[in-house]
Amino acid sequence: MTAQSPTVLLIAGPTASGKTALAIEAARARDGEIINADSMQIYREIPILSAQPEAEEREGIPHHLFGERSVAEPASVGWWARRAHELIADIQSRARTPVLVGGTGLYFGALTKGLAVIPETTDEARAEAERLEALGMDALRQAAAKFDSIAAGRALGDDRARLRRIVEVGITTGQAISEFQKETHPVLATGEWSGIVIEPERAALYARINARFDAMLGAGALDEARALQPFNRSLPALKAVGLPPLLAHIDGEMELKDAGEIAKRDSRRYAKRQYTWFRNQCGDWSRIHSLDAATARAEFQALGDR
């Protein structure tokens, strides 16, 4: 990154890596406004479980697309990309810097590599994908591979969301999602943006993930989960990392301690997938490696001096 940085700044990284603090530092340094690039932080009913920045953290800096929609209104990547594009243009029109921050790789991919125009999937397709997922990862992956072996092969590990999406699009359209993805158009042109990935040492991040979930419970995460009981469990937001085991506890299926351990495990696994995605898809972005906020700020400032 040079002193004459492109107008739009992208900050990505795994869950609990300190993205919020760094985005606030970047917005202060560049007279910026922050746009959410996390698929779960869009939903207003799960501010604790999705780790949305609290009012005191925002410290007077405008924040956009946090708590924008209800969990009953699923937000697609296409919807997010359109809203983000509108906000970027509005922020730039006021001579300010858009700072996009989050951990959803597909959002950053839409901005920098392109977004395929895919028809909205049907309720029937989503229900069938949900049924297959309930049968287990093997059943879901096998079904996805039948619809699109190429896209299924790109879904690493237990990437349930991507595999469900392959099935849903296949059922709805009768076409492979990879065929739609051949025609993509990036939201941001080369030279209009710069990217940073926070990539801390894994053991330290996993310890922070464990501690953060305990803090979430102390802040009312269980009450937040309880308020979601009336909603359909197939909604994307109700699959937020950490939420399903809490709902299982509320349903009487397990003790809270066990639910907490499963939530921590799932969060660590999610972070591992994020590490892999950002390493493979954002290999040429600048890196910050410290979990310590002050050290991360110093690393960020040093990037600006290059």
In the block, tokens 């390493």 appear at 279
pLDDT at residue 189 tops 60: yes
Q: How many whole angstroms separate alpha carbon 210 and alpha carbon 215? A: 9
pLDDT in tens, 6-16: 589 999 999 99
pLDDT at residue 2 tops 50: no
Fold of 8-115+184-304: Rossmann fold (3.40.50)
pLDDT at residue 3 tops 50: no
pLDDT in tens, 113-125: 987 778 888 989 9
Q: Are 33 and 64 in contact (CB under 8 A)?
A: yes
Average pLDDT in the 20-35 region? 95
Q: What is the dihedral of CA 49, 267, 108, 131, to 10 degrees?
A: -90
Q: How many whole angstroms separate alpha carbon 128 and alpha carbon 168? A: 8
Classify the C-alpha dihedral 12-13-19-25 as positive or negative.
negative
Q: How many whole angstroms separate alpha carbon 73 and alpha carbon 53? A: 21
Specify which residues 193 forms β-bridges with.
8
**Total residues found in the chain within this entry:** 306
Do strands 184-185 and 115-116 pair parallel, antiparallel, or not at all (unpaired)?
antiparallel
pLDDT at residue 228 tops 60: yes
Q: What is the pLDDT of residue 4?
A: 42
Query: What CATH class is the domain 119-180?
Result: mainly alpha
pLDDT at residue 5 tops 80: no
- For the chain, the domains span 8-115+184-304, 119-180
Q: Are 43 and 70 in contact (CB under 8 A)?
A: yes
Q: What is the pLDDT of residue 159?
A: 82
Q: Are 125 and 172 in contact (CB under 8 A)?
A: yes
In the block, tokens 């869950």 appear at 15
Average pLDDT in the 234-240 region? 92
Average pLDDT in the 119-144 region? 92
Residue 216 identity:
M
pLDDT at residue 305 tops 70: no
Strand order, beta sheet including 8-12: 63-64, 32-36, 97-102, 8-12, 193-198, 286-288
pLDDT at residue 180 tops 90: no
Range among 109-118, 154-163, 264-273 rated most confident: 264-273
pLDDT at residue 1 tops 70: no
pTM of the model: 0.83
